[in-house]
Chains A and B, each alone.
Chain A
Amino acid sequence: MSYRELTNGRIAGGVAAALAAGAVVALTVTSETVLSLLTQATIFAIFALGVGILLRQNGMVSFGHAAFYGLGGYVVAILLERQLMSAEMALVAAFFGIALFAFLIGFVVVRVPGIAFGMLTLALGQMFYQVASRSRNLTGGADGINISWPDTLFGFDISLLTRQDAMFYFAWSGLVLSIGIVAALMASRFGATTEAIRDNEERARFIGIRTLLPRVLVFTLSGTVTALAGLMSAFQTAFISPESMHWSVSGTALMMVIIGGYRYLWGPALGAIAFFLSRDLVGDFAQHWLAIFGVALIVVIVFAPQGISGALARLFRRKAVARPAAAAVIHKLKERT
């Protein structure tokens, strides 16, 4: 068993466990409002995962990812409204279309370093927001578009999605599988390459790594995952409006990433879920919710830059796990021979 296989085995185990945990939640929670809240949190967890990948693997902070999120809904909504293709085709077209778009735009934007990248994505995101709010013919302007799903989708009855437990499990599976796929990718050579580039692009070039394409691919992955969140939201709400593309949405997602911590892939998702659940918990103070979260953001940045996931990982890390991974593999190999 190689190190690679061991890692993939662990990822597969984690995915299976998380899917089972989601099933338990879907089956035991009966309150429709709680399930709907959990679905919303899960969708934003996918969004945050997308933003987090970019930060974790490229070290880049995007202030414009809401564009990918909103595009997911808009592309499907417009394709369906004009009856250009079947809903199944529209979903596939939207997903791969946005992935291609992220890839192409990535070639241009990832060349820009540091703060300038943040400003560039901010401008890009606001451009989409403005187009969506102004083009009344295409996007319905500020009123947005209702998405009219057909009766069946990929052979499933559409009424499944109006059932809160089914919708939650659908979104949850999307989140868990995304994290699994991204984790497997990051454990591969590609992940190592992007980390080398992130830490020192110049040295990575010296040892013969072509640095542009991996960075573009990370951007593409990040945009595509975010678009998946947009598609999920289109399922849940059957509605899309320019508000979902506003820069403050990108900022909120970024905030979830920071509070959750982005060193671990599940960190941003945890941040998103913490955001929604604690907003519900503060109850009467909910109107001051953003301020509370703003303070939390500042506290995390200043005192715990690794976020909730970093703190949790430190808390639960036992000695056996703390051993270097390579030593663990050697140990495993010895056991087998």
Chain B
Amino acid sequence: MLSINIFNGLVYGALLVVMSSGLALIYGLRRVVNFAHGSLYMLGAYLGYTVASHTNFWVAQVAVPLLMGLLGLALDRFAFRPLQDRDPLTVILVTFGLLLVIEDFVQTVWGKSNLSVPAPDLLNASVDLFGMSVPAYRIAVIFFGLVVAGALTLWLRYSKMGLFVRAASTEPTITSMQGVNVDRLSGLVVAVGTALAGLAGIIAAPFLSLSPSMSSDVIIDSFVVVVTGGLGSLLGAFAAALILGQVQAVGAVYLPEFATVLPYVLMMAVLLWRPAGFAGNRV
């Protein structure tokens, strides 16, 4: 029993890795706490539903992040960039307004009933893992999480653009003095972050059902991850995502009342102990 819970915790943790790395990237460069991130995830899942039902899951997995990336470019160009000199709190409220608009859009286009996306044929089987029978798709989710974490780490550590991103997340002004176009870079990073939200949506689609309420829980969990992991810090977010996945899956079975509260207690503790974690951080 325990091992299957640990396994499910890993699956949810992997999903949170994809979700919260997008959130952390956007915060890192634009200093925007993006309340709309959960609804972008939802939009990604529903777009994935439509694309997958016309083609197949693998096409959706490529097309949805691309579409969402374009949306992210627009989001940065028409919202975050014009508002970058405004009080961060007003920008949070703008993302809250966006959340309402996107959720309504999804409900209008796809309706309120629950939808589901079948797992691709290749992964639509049960696999024997350490004596447990688990759906192959869930193993693939863990794999997707690993790929995203690995790719992002490599991109940020070893590419020139990754260097610029890291520089701009610590010192945007000095970075632009050195000749980096921080606005364009931020546009790209917001696009990547939004694409990751969409990717998380299409990854979640075959194992969580699509419903209008799917965004509200996962966004708060992602906030918990990003805050406890240190806002803007990817490595911290990865670790926090895996821990939260375990707390949710294992704790919810053995200590249900405690486990639902624990993430928030952790989040509060981090904020009280180091509120500056919001200010001093790097991608």
Contact = CB atoms under 8 A, between A and B. Distances in A.
Interface string A95-133: 000000000000010011111111110111011001100
Interface stretch (A35-43, A84-92, A151-159, A291-299): A291-299
Given A61-B89, A116-B278, A297 B96 contact: yes
A305 interface: yes
A134 B100 contact: no
Contacts, number: 115
A267 to B, nearest CB: 15
Mostly helix, strand, loop or mixed at chain A's interface?
A: helix
Nearest to B267: A123
Contacts of B92: 61, 115, 118
A290 B212 CA distance: 13
A295 B88 contact: no
B271 A112 contact: yes
Given A114-B88, A114-B278, A126-B264, A119 B223 contact: yes
A301 interface: yes
Contact of A134 (B33, B108, B227, B257): B257
Interface stretch (A226-234, A251-259, A308-316): A251-259
Interface string B256-283: 1100110011011001100101100000
A116 B83 contact: no
A124 B268 contact: yes
B96 A255 contact: yes
Nearest to A137: B257
A247 interface: yes
Interface in B77-118: 82-83, 88-90, 92-94, 96-101, 103-105, 107-108
B50 interface: no
A251 B216 CA distance: 12
A302 interface: yes
A188 interface: no
A106 to B, nearest CB: 13
B88 A294 contact: no
Given A114-B88, A115-B88, A134-B256, A294 B100 contact: yes
A258 B96 CA distance: 12
Given A123-B224, A247-B220, A298-B94, A291 B89 contact: no
B98 A294 contact: yes
A248 interface: yes
A258 B104 CA distance: 21
A40 B35 CA distance: 27
A248 B90 contact: no
Contacts of A108: 272
A119 B33 contact: yes
A131 B261 contact: yes
Q: Which of B98, B261, B264 has the most CB of A within 10 A?
A: B264
A115 B33 contact: yes
Contacts of B264: 123-124, 126-127, 130
Interface in B231-277: 256-257, 260-261, 264-265, 267-268, 271-272, 275, 277
A205 interface: no
A210 interface: no
A112 B275 contact: yes
B110 to A, nearest CB: 14
Given A127-B265, A301-B90, 14 more contacts: A61-B92, A114-B89, A114-B278, A116-B275, A117-B275, A118-B92, A123-B264, A291-B100, A291-B105, A294-B99, A297-B96, A298-B94, A301-B93, A302-B94
23 contacts: A112-B272, A115-B92, A116-B271, A116-B275, A118-B89, A118-B92, A119-B223, A120-B268, A120-B275, A122-B223, A123-B227, A123-B264, A127-B264, A258-B93, A287-B107, A288-B104, A290-B103, A291-B100, A291-B104, A291-B105, A295-B97, A297-B100, A298-B94
